[in-house]
């Protein structure tokens, strides 16, 4: 494990603010806590969406080790704009820019960062199961240069589908918006299929691999008379949350994401 990098993973339930956990993780890196010159923080994401926890830091509502953005802290941001195949090259750019730490927004970004460097500390802003994804050896002893925050929300997937059935009892068909490129979402999809069988619900897989997929997938849900929509959130789907809400409301669907139905 990289010296100074936190060995502790924080497990947070869906909806809990991540700002404090992210601050504590970043504070554990000596390069930021002790370095008198300007420290470079790399931010890597699949889309233009910025995780709220990191946005708090970026917009100056929280300082790190007495530092302030634009002062002794410099942000280098790289966005794949919904195309995960760009993440490896973007991660390499951050490493080449000699950043002191990489904040990876999502599992795909963390995997790309891990492949790009074994020495630069990597802090995952949020993830599914980091062990299953191959990011860490275990939660107790992650080893390597990756640490961060995980929601470990697999057990919540079935509950969300159950809530949809309670809110919309006549919804026999539910459209599921998800990104199959996210490793943990494949696990959630399998869990969801098992739950659907028990609840007597037919699932319609609406795969989102890039922003341009959203409109045709929602059109498909409407044409096939889906009674509700369920969103398996990752950095890509969350970046489309506003569009999903507006479009799903206009077609009369109910949406459920992160345990919240609207």
Contact 138, 160 (CB under 8 A): no
CATH of 154-261, one of 3.40.50.10470, 3.40.50.720, 3.40.640.10, 3.40.50.2300: 3.40.50.2300
* CATH of region 10-150: 3.40.50.2300
Q: How far apart are CA 241 and CA 6, in angstroms?
A: 32
* pLDDT greater than 60 at residue 160: yes
**Which two structure tokens, joined as six digits, stand for 100?**
């002191």
* pLDDT greater than 50 at residue 17: no
**Which two structure tokens, joined as six digits, stand for 44?**
């890597």
Say whether 67 sits in a helix, a strand or coil.
strand
The pLDDT-based confidence of 11 (bands split at 50, 70, 90) is very low
User: Which residues of the chain form CATH 3.40.50.2300?
Assistant: 10-150, 154-261
For 96-147, what is each residue's pLDDT tens digit?
999 999 989 888 899 999 999 999 999 887 666 788 778 888 777 778 899 8
Q: What is residue 141's predicted lDDT score, i.e. its pLDDT?
A: 77
For 211-257, what is each residue's pLDDT tens digit?
889 999 999 988 898 888 898 877 777 777 778 877 766 544 555 54
Q: How far apart are CA 182 and CA 127, in angstroms?
A: 10
| pTM of full prediction above 0.75 | no
């Amino acid at each position: 494990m990289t010296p100074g990098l936190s060995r502790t993973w924080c497990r947070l339930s869906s909806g809990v603010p991540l700002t404090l956990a992210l601050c504590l993780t970043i504070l554990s890196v000596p390069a930021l806590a002790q370095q008198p010159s300007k420290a470079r923080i790399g931010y890597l994401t699949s889309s233009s969406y910025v995780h709220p926890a990191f946005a708090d830091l970026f917009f100056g509502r929280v300082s790190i080790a007495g530092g302030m953005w634009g002062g002794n802290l410099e942000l280098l941001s790289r966005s794949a704009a919904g195309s995960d195949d760009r993440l490896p090259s973007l991660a390499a750019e951050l490493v080449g820019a000699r950043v002191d730490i990489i904040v990876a927004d999502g599992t795909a970004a963390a995997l790309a960062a891990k492949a790009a460097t074994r020495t630069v500390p990597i802090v995952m802003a949020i993830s599914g199961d980091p062990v299953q994804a191959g990011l860490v050896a275990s939660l107790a002893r992650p080893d390597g240069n990756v640490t961060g925050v995980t929601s470990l929300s697999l057990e919540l997937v079935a509950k969300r589908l159950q809530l949809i059935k309670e809110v919309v009892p006549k919804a026999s068909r539910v459209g599921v918006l998800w990104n199959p490129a996210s490793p943990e979402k494949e696990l959630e999809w399998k869990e969801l299929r098992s739950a659907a069988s028990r609840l007597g619900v037919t699932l319609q897989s609406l795969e989102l691999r890039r922003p341009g997929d959203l409109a045709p997938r929602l059109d498909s849900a409407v044409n096939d008379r889906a009674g509700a929509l369920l969103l398996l959130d990752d950095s890509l789907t969350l970046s489309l949350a506003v569009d999903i809400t507006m479009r799903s409301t206009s077609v009369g669907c109910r949406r459920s994401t992160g345990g919240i139905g609207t």
